[in-house]
A and B are shown apart, each in its own frame.
Chain A
Amino acid sequence: MKVTIQAVAVWGKIAPSHSITAIMITDDQQTIVTGSQEGQICLWDLSSELKVSSKEILFGHTASVTCLAKARDFEKQPYVVSAAENGEMCVWNVASGQSVGNTKLPYRHTAICYYHCSFRMTGEGWLLCCGEYQDVLIIDAKTLSVLHTLTSSQYSDWINCMCIVHSTRIQEDSLVAVSIGGDLKVWDLSSSLNSIQERQSVCEKESKSLHCINCRAIRFCTYTERLLLVVSSTCWQVYDYCDFSLLCTEFCKSGQCFAGGEVLAAYRLILWTEDGHSYIYQLLNSGLSKGIYPADGKVLKETVFPHLLCSTGVKENKSFPFVMGFMNERKEPFYKILFSGEASGRITLWHVPDVPVSTVDGSPKEIPVTTTWTLQDNFDKHHSVSEGIIDYLCASEDGNENAVVSSSVYIPSLDKLVCGCENGKIFVTLALRTVRARLLENISLFKDNLPYKVLTGHSSRVTCLLYPHDKLTRFDPSWLLSGGQDSVVICWDIFTGEILHQFTLQSGPVTELLQPPEDCRVNQSIVCCVCRDHSVAVLHLQDGVCLLHARKHLFPVKMIKLDPVENLLIVGCEDDSVYIWEIETGTLERHETGETAKAIFSSIDESEYLMAGVQLPISQDSKRHKDTAYKFSSSCKRGMHVPCPHLGDNSSKLCFCFCFFQLPDTGHIQQSFTVLPLKTKWNNINFHVLLFDLERLVELLTSQLSGLKSSNSFHDYDTLQRVKSTAEKRSRTLKRNKTAGSICAVNGQVNTVCANQDHTDSSVRPLEESGGMKRHKKMKSSRKNKLQPLGNIDVNITDTAKLFLSCLFPWGVDKEIDNLCVSYLDILRLQCPVSFGLVSDENYMSLMLPGWSSTDCGVLEERAVINLFSKRVLDLANKFLSATEGQTGRKDGPGNNIHGSQGSETVFLLNRIALINRIINIPLDISEVESIFYLYACMYNKNRFYAPDFENISLMKLTRCWSDQSIKIIEAMQAVLLAEVQRTVITLRKTAVCREPLPILENGNGKGNQWTSQLKLSCSFATELSMSLGVPKHDKGSNSTSFQDAEDTPDRCVLEESESPGESHLKTVTNW
């Protein structure tokens, strides 16, 4: 089963760069898909008025995208395949934004054609691929494995372009391709289906040299069924498909290169150039229309000549390579659209009239641009959505808006977010509270009271940050390193804000700060620093000296290793050369290239690098470790040497995806919430992704609620050690704070202390604790060892859960529901719609872009709905409500929970959402029995969820069929959340007076396990059903007793009264 982590993107004011390298419009003319040099796929909404708005950005490729193509019959499944420079292929469901499959093959594709022959083919069809390899590969569209190749008997070479010829007249589907050497080749497809399936070699049917170098496109005219358009960079030609005789040639204007073309209609062609111009030609003919006789070829050749009808252009070609395409649809309401994507990320559309005509005097007519749009336009339009994570801090600081975050780092152990800005300032804030202040409404209180510190030392942009203690405890916990554009590395004391050391390197901007891996035997506190001039500095933090500044590298640094035994620095560069430096003397000992360098590279274990290469085999590992949550020491190690998501200019290409799966997994097992700073390649724009691990959140909340804390399995030795070290650190910092006397720092520190000390207090009133400093300090000394392991998570967990619900909930659908949420769940309204996202362990992530809210649910204007993911959510919620309507008399559920504490209600909702999440993640292509089995596994594998009842089963069936309909996980979760809250409102109305407390069945721990094992034995659904009905009753009794036992711990007897809206829903836990 897939594991997914919910994410919320906090964009900045500037959009991430998206240099378009491939573009297509889906068959339903509703989505534009673009692939970028940075490796992301962007989905744009195309409205029926031809308005463009960005919708979603998909991370999955680690290299530049080379081509896009549809991967299924679009009416059935809206799938698109993308291929990347490094051989990755990925199939996306463009309706839901999810990855359907991916693979990595040793082939680089430049064009893909989807071919499916429904009556003669089993399976989902083929992807015919060509690229930087000989001839044509046939790849299965479903499994993405290579089925076969279409080979050439002679002049075998790379194929430049190809198209599928499907003609009723010829009665044979063929693939027409032009090789890089200018040879035209034709392969039969439909008649060679059998031999391909039997893996016999398939050679071309025809081959002809066209003598056209750099062929860019080949198109078959389906209107006349005989013309073949061949576009090369210098000219375009029309051939007769019957005998491949040349009918006409037209050269392009000087200074322009043709980039592609398409047949508009019979004898009407559209050609486009690399600089974004296009030309529509009419082929004037006298004899052609009459004769379909190949014998006339020679005569026809004389009579066909092109006449320019219309042209389109761009005013100023801002960024050179344009990728263009043409969509030809004759059915209403579809348009003929010429579309282009630029390297700057701009999309331009032209609506080509059905019958293009020239002007009266015969000169070509200019077709105006219909729409043009960039990602940045979306960011500007929805500026409240695209506000950066600490923008309000910067604004309050000096009033100008220029303080764009240029680098940032999140410190999980301190829950601190450190942001370096363009103006050289470094902001240190508390992560969760910063995020709450950024996302939630009406918390000017939060904003004003938000403790933060500003470190001033750099004179220009802060380019990178490093908190070494997080990964390696031998570094002092107060050390924070920052590198700047001014070539200065500063070592700060993060708690006091003073500068400990300052290293001036004078070799251009610092691009990366790296630390040695854990298992490396470097005992001193050494970090390495890479500068723009490709030099590497070895800095000793304790002594504050620069041990070595290695400056001879000609190419960007790819990897660094410290050899503590020989005291060597080994530097690998991008041109595959290796430099070996002696640290003590500072001399270059060896410089190797070629074979020797290769040998050195291969002898170094990947885990020894300071900086890992781009391709890390992380994905499989993370998958494994996710399942065995407590056996994570090795993945921890692995996490160390990844310079994580700081993608400076010289770390080649983006490697977002790999970083993702480490952060949530490794460092902090207790962390259900992580802030992930990301940087894009070209414009260095920083944005943040908040990751919510729903499963863990539920787990922690449940355990917190049911008082099972001490027995939690994940409190292993590692965590204890960490806690111990943080405790030490805290006492130290407290001391420091006293002496430093900085109000800001003290305030921040107190918050942390509170957070970790007294969950009951701070979870309810996070703002009132600043006065209680003394008390906390006393408590700290007495209860340190007892409370901290548990307390560390409490406040954050509750707040995180609330924040998550706030982000997910569709505000404004119903006023009453909104109020209920605010009062009962204690969650706050959102300031603006959030950009939700999804991170999966299958190496991809999707994030909504600031334009999403205007795309899907623009119809609901009558209500000011904030954050409704799509109109579908409302339908789904209604369906869900009606499907589960019959079971109102169930024993457990929100109706009763509402009388319990707020916490349990939150837990209930989160549980539901987590369950939905799991159900939807069940693979689709499994048998009925298996799926039932999975359903049960869903409920039990985390072992503390509700006992099964009718309601849960019907819920599963319902959501199960949702997942078949390519409904997004997020939509489903939102629908269920909405429905559950709605139901609560109804129950609340009915039972406003009745306040009979009932136990909740959520800690049926042992039962759950037992259940799973029973299920494994008996696979029959019927028995399970009957048992599932029988057991809950039986469960109830035993649980309520054990529950009370567990509740005996004194620190659970707490009132949560602050949020009571006048009514008496509050209830002490001891009442249970």
Chain B
Amino acid sequence: MAAAMASAAERAVLEEEFKWLLQEEVHAVLKQLQDILKEASQRFALPVSGSEGAIKQENFVLSTSGSCVLGMKTTSSHMFVSSFKDINLKMPRNNQLLHFAFREDKQWKLQQIQDARNHVNQAIYLLMNRDVNYQFRTGSEVLKLMDAVMLQLTRARNRLTTPATLTLPEIASGGLTKMFTPALPPDILVNFYINLNKLCLTVYQLHVLQPSTTKNFKPAGGSVLHNPGAMFEFGNQRYEVSHVHKVESVVPWLNDALVFFTVSLQLCQQLKDKISVFSSYWNYRPY
């Protein structure tokens, strides 16, 4: 059962098996991982600049949550990397319908998607570096590679599952507010983010706090979603959030990507486990 007791014949067999694992099995798994991740990466793929003609259109109707109706249409294959067309906001305040679109001359990217894409590409690059001709000599080499790949994949997944917590001034000063045409009214803040497989849009309606107000001013900290009543200071002016509208829509390909991440993480871990089984059998060699 243990190393000390393993007979010479047993050892020979184990060595043979370990050799097979390093030479054959590892490459098979790496190939499989590459395929999965390439598939995932295609979901994030950028339209190659210059091939604007091949743009396919995606429509997202963000569900309504009662007071705020929002319809949205995007052009370009990936809204996240370029632009939204037509955002319709129906304000409960005066029932007025606000209509916005993204400016054509500026580009705005959803940071989460960009980061996730970059992480996946890094993972693919790590895997591609060891092509079929590369011979793994030790198990720890494989373990280190797997650790590096898993780190990138975990980051990619976490990027999608955990939206950034932003403070209201950060949202106000971010590039997104300047992306709209016609420009947003000064009492409205918007924020887009990804939460798991959902694209979320939050719209904050603000009202200005008069300097003479008796209200205790307490600036709100960072949060994914701020509640009505949150206060902040921006450009020498104090604001309070009066209404918050949140709408979200499921993005099918994000779901795919998350599944791909999970599957490849499991594959990596399984490979690591297979390698470490053999570590039990010889003590002094770095397996």
Contact residues of A with B, CB < 8 Å?
17, 19, 37, 85, 132-134, 154-158, 180-181, 209, 214, 233, 255, 257, 274, 318-321, 343, 402, 404, 422-424, 459-461, 484-486, 508-509, 532-534, 554-556, 575, 594-595, 649, 682-683
Tell me the interface secondary structure of chain B in the complex. helix
CA distance A157 to B143 in the complex (A): 30
Name the CB-closest residue of A to B152. Answer: A132
> B286 contacts A486, CB within 8 Å?
no
Q: Is B76 an interface residue (CB 8 A)?
A: no
> B130 contacts A649, CB within 8 Å?
no
Residues 169-228 of B contacting A (Cβ, < 8 Å): 196
Name the CB-closest residue of B to A653. Answer: B147
Given contacts A459-B2, A459-B4, contact A594 B196 (CB under 8 A): yes
> A422 contacts B269, CB within 8 Å?
no
> A424 contacts B133, CB within 8 Å?
no
Residues 236-287 of B contacting A (Cβ, < 8 Å): 262, 265-266, 269, 273, 276-277, 279-280, 283-284, 286
CA distance A460 to B2 in the complex (A): 7
Chain A residues whose C-beta falls within 8 Å of the C-beta of B134 in the assembled complex:
320
In the assembled complex, 9 residue pairs joining A and B whose CB atoms fall closer than 8 Å, in A order, are A132-B118, A134-B114, A154-B107, A156-B109, A424-B4, A509-B279, A533-B273, A594-B161, A683-B286
> A461 contacts B286, CB within 8 Å?
no
> A19 contacts B144, CB within 8 Å?
yes
Chain B residues whose C-beta falls within 8 Å of the C-beta of A509 in the assembled complex:
279-280
For B, the interface residue count at a CB cutoff of 8 angstroms equals 44
- Chain B proximity of A157: nearest CB distance (Å): 7
Chain B residues whose C-beta falls within 8 Å of the C-beta of A321 in the assembled complex:
129
Chain B residues whose C-beta falls within 8 Å of the C-beta of A575 in the assembled complex:
154, 262, 265-266, 269
Chain B residues whose C-beta falls within 8 Å of the C-beta of A37 in the assembled complex:
144
> B277 contacts A157, CB within 8 Å?
no
> A85 contacts B151, CB within 8 Å?
yes
> B118 contacts A460, CB within 8 Å?
no
Chain B residues whose C-beta falls within 8 Å of the C-beta of A485 in the assembled complex:
2-3, 280, 283
> B269 contacts A554, CB within 8 Å?
yes
Given contacts A158-B118, A402-B284, contact A460 B266 (CB under 8 A): no
Given contacts A320-B134, A422-B284, A424-B4, contact A554 B107 (CB under 8 A): no
CA distance A756 to B12 in the complex (A): 54
> B283 contacts A422, CB within 8 Å?
yes
> A555 contacts B269, CB within 8 Å?
yes
> A319 contacts B118, CB within 8 Å?
no
Neighbour of B276 across the interface among A17, A274, A554, A649, CB < 8 A: A649
CA distance A274 to B111 in the complex (A): 30
Q: Is B91 an interface residue (CB 8 A)?
A: no
> A460 contacts B4, CB within 8 Å?
yes
> B141 contacts A459, CB within 8 Å?
no
Chain B residues whose C-beta falls within 8 Å of the C-beta of A17 in the assembled complex:
286
Known: A132-B115, A485-B2, A508-B280. 17 other contacts (CB 8 A): A17-B286, A19-B144, A134-B114, A155-B107, A157-B118, A319-B141, A460-B4, A461-B283, A485-B3, A485-B280, A485-B283, A508-B276, A509-B280, A532-B273, A556-B269, A594-B161, A682-B144
Chain A residues whose C-beta falls within 8 Å of the C-beta of B143 in the assembled complex:
682
Tell me the interface secondary structure of chain A in the complex. loop
Q: Is B137 an interface residue (CB 8 A)?
A: yes
- Chain B proximity of A791: nearest CB distance (Å): 43
Q: Is B49 an interface residue (CB 8 A)?
A: yes
> A404 contacts B284, CB within 8 Å?
yes
Chain B residues whose C-beta falls within 8 Å of the C-beta of A158 in the assembled complex:
114-115, 118
> B276 contacts A532, CB within 8 Å?
yes
Given contacts A132-B115, A257-B129, A459-B4, contact A320 B266 (CB under 8 A): no
Q: Is B20 an interface residue (CB 8 A)?
A: no
Chain A residues whose C-beta falls within 8 Å of the C-beta of B107 in the assembled complex:
154-155
> B131 contacts A255, CB within 8 Å?
yes
CA distance A133 to B143 in the complex (A): 27
CA distance A404 to B283 in the complex (A): 10
Q: Is B9 an interface residue (CB 8 A)?
A: no
Name the CB-closest residue of A to B114. Answer: A157
Chain B residues whose C-beta falls within 8 Å of the C-beta of A595 in the assembled complex:
196
Chain B residues whose C-beta falls within 8 Å of the C-beta of A19 in the assembled complex:
144
Neighbour of A486 across the interface among B2, B46, B284, CB < 8 A: B2
CA distance A133 to B283 in the complex (A): 42
Chain B residues whose C-beta falls within 8 Å of the C-beta of A683 in the assembled complex:
140, 286
CA distance A562 to B166 in the complex (A): 35
Q: Is B8 an interface residue (CB 8 A)?
A: no
Given contacts A319-B141, A508-B277, A594-B161, contact A274 B5 (CB under 8 A): no
- Chain B proximity of A63: nearest CB distance (Å): 9
- Chain B proximity of A827: nearest CB distance (Å): 37
Neighbour of A320 across the interface among B49, B118, B130, CB < 8 A: B130
CA distance A486 to B115 in the complex (A): 44
Nearest 5 pairs between A and B by C-beta?
A486-B2, A460-B2, A459-B2, A460-B3, A422-B283
> A459 contacts B280, CB within 8 Å?
no
Q: Is B121 an interface residue (CB 8 A)?
A: yes
Q: Is B54 an interface residue (CB 8 A)?
A: no
> A318 contacts B137, CB within 8 Å?
yes
CA distance A486 to B4 in the complex (A): 9
Chain A residues whose C-beta falls within 8 Å of the C-beta of B131 in the assembled complex:
255
> A181 contacts B46, CB within 8 Å?
yes
